[in-house]
Chain A
């Protein structure tokens, strides 16, 4: 690639280098070539970023892409398109596809499809157990060789303490984290929303907070004994946040993440049995929401994710108990996090960006999330003051299962640059060529 990409006069924020200043960023040959004043040369592609934030490309370490197996709901290509439209330059996909990503060949398949899509970076997470059945370990070592960045049976927790202990021991050998969907299947059995007064009113079976906390508690004991890196997926309860906070204090290698909906919505939003509010973990109480926000603010919760979970219309039009869990989030996440965390003053933009770039890169060992010289030219440009309204009909994702339709938000990615190439520009925020 010969053209350079010049991003002019933006507020450059790079938490890894402690940069927060107005500067130009020059990308060349797919890499970061310079930060500072740049002189334009003929043939340069130029983006005027004045008034905007220029930061390392956003990373979402928890998405579901549905390929292979349910390409009607999402494909790797459509999910990646949704990601760049939301400002993400890298996404990390969960292995609960059909079949599951539980072999070297499946990991290679994800990389191949992502290459063909020529959109954002896609990093696969391998299943911990064969077929995600929670019984026999999958060929983890071979998946590591093929590029699996972490291991998880997400969608379900590993019910057997023995299997979990073995997984932590074994995966520790490759210095990759185990990501656990913390839910005691026995306590959660049959539940479709948070066990609370709204579930009582609606007559729906509940999932108690204890179902999450019980498994977090057990796993922390196991993680402590093995020393393996352990990551709690989509944390949602006050008790779980406190367990992680205490464990970090004790020096256990634990990290965690949270979704926008667990910072903005409570179980009281489940009215009229609207399946767009059905997700797992379920929407919790106000106390839990407050605890999650406090957990982000004090650093207990390391990073921010979407748990993007597309489902086709026919699925979400089922009755509440029968409908699948999950909502889409890639295209609204940045605005939602700004609303939940920046607008009320829990985080500043610097901190928010760190939670969406540096933190996931560190947890997964990715050489991403930084604007260091010669690093990959993954850059997101954000207009932090841009007001916009969620319109699901404009989504790049194949699915529309989203409870935020019509929400007014402030803050949005205007440009997404992956490997030095502009992959997304919001309408009205174009780039120009120097003649």
Chain B
């Protein structure tokens, strides 16, 4: 088992100053005075701490829209949002659709199954055609990393990454961070574990970028094949023994395990994985009493965590889904605004 260690981040982007919020923003805190210069939201790696906080605070302002009798604001009235999903994800697509509708935008869902031979070509043709119809914002999900960047180079309108390959899933990262801040009232200094298939996870990368930028202490937990030491260069700790560290965390963010990984020999069986890295009732007893348990969903019950943990009092899984709406409203609103300002 590896000795946990902290490595200084080597990329200049990771070396942002700690959160200007300085620890504990209250729900009434006014948004920090930063502009949002980004027409596109392609990844959290591109954002400063101040920009992330600005987005979270904007989301806060949108949060109560969902509790009104008329669940709509006119922010994007007359605008057209396209959900362009090259990879299935009903939940994420619904969340983006609903968020866009609450901003009074017109929403088109567009899924395109592409052949592996010319998938890039149809991406380019597809988005140029879509933009020609007068679209203002494209939300894109694709199985290959970098496709949102390719699209952003080919269109004038705003582009939001809804998950690209193993790269990033920025709105998921933001809603995770939003949920942590909502419950724990701070991000700086928070001890967060990200557990499971880190290597293949876009959720993990977005969490790592966002959390480290805001001053959280991030520990990756998983087998060496799924949570390799090379990730230490992001400025996080890597640990392969869940039990030795579980008591430290304020937040445990469990990643989804793909059953197909067994075929690539990254672990021998779901049983063994679950025994070593699953959040069982037994293991939960060693966690902090107020630990927050998270999961991007859908949960493989009995593998990543027991049903009792998933549905228990410490679980924020449903709260994450709810918060996803406010965060996505904020992302669309800010990107569209920045796009029109230029």
The interface of chain A, by Cβ under 8 A from chain B, is 197, 200-205, 272-273, 314, 317-323
Contact = CB atoms under 8 A, between A and B. Distances in A.
A197 B164 contact: no
Contact of A203 (B118, B123, B166): B166
A322 B143 CA distance: 11
Q: Identify the 6 closest CB pairs spanning chains A and B, nearest first.
A: A318-B120, A203-B167, A273-B146, A203-B166, A203-B145, A322-B120
Given A319-B119, A320-B144, A273 B149 contact: yes
B149 A322 contact: no
B146 A204 contact: yes
6 contacts: A203-B145, A203-B205, A204-B146, A318-B118, A320-B145, A321-B145
A319 B168 contact: no
Contacts of A273: 145-146, 149-150
B165 A203 contact: yes
B69 interface: no
Contacts of A320: 144-146, 150
B144 A319 contact: yes
A321 B150 CA distance: 11
B230 A321 contact: no
Nearest to B200: A203
Nearest to B167: A203
A179 B5 CA distance: 45
B119 A318 contact: yes
Contacts of B147: 319
Interface of B: 11, 45, 116, 118-121, 123-124, 142, 144-147, 149-150, 164-168, 199, 202, 205, 230-231, 233-234
A203 B164 contact: yes
For B124, B146, B147, B150, which residue has the most chain A Cβ atoms within 10 angstroms? B146
A139 B168 CA distance: 50
Given A318-B120, A322-B144, A203 B168 contact: yes
Nearest to B45: A201
A167 B159 CA distance: 52
Nearest to B42: A272
Contacts of B166: 203-205
B101 to A, nearest CB: 29
A197 B231 CA distance: 8
B120 A317 contact: yes
Given A273-B145, A273-B150, A314-B121, A321 B231 contact: no
Given A204-B146, A319-B145, A321-B144, 9 more contacts: A201-B234, A203-B145, A203-B202, A204-B166, A205-B166, A318-B121, A318-B124, A319-B150, A322-B120
A204 B143 CA distance: 11
A220 to B, nearest CB: 29
A204 B205 CA distance: 12
A204 B145 contact: yes
A201 to B, nearest CB: 7
A298 to B, nearest CB: 30
Contacts of B202: 203
A205 B118 CA distance: 19
Contacts of A317: 120-121, 124, 150
A205 B145 CA distance: 9
A320 B120 CA distance: 9
A318 B153 CA distance: 12
B276 to A, nearest CB: 23
Contact of B120 (A197, A202, A323): A323
A319 B154 CA distance: 12
Contacts of A205: 166
Contacts of B119: 318-319, 322
Contacts of B142: 319
A195 B165 CA distance: 16
A200 B145 contact: no
A203 B202 CA distance: 8
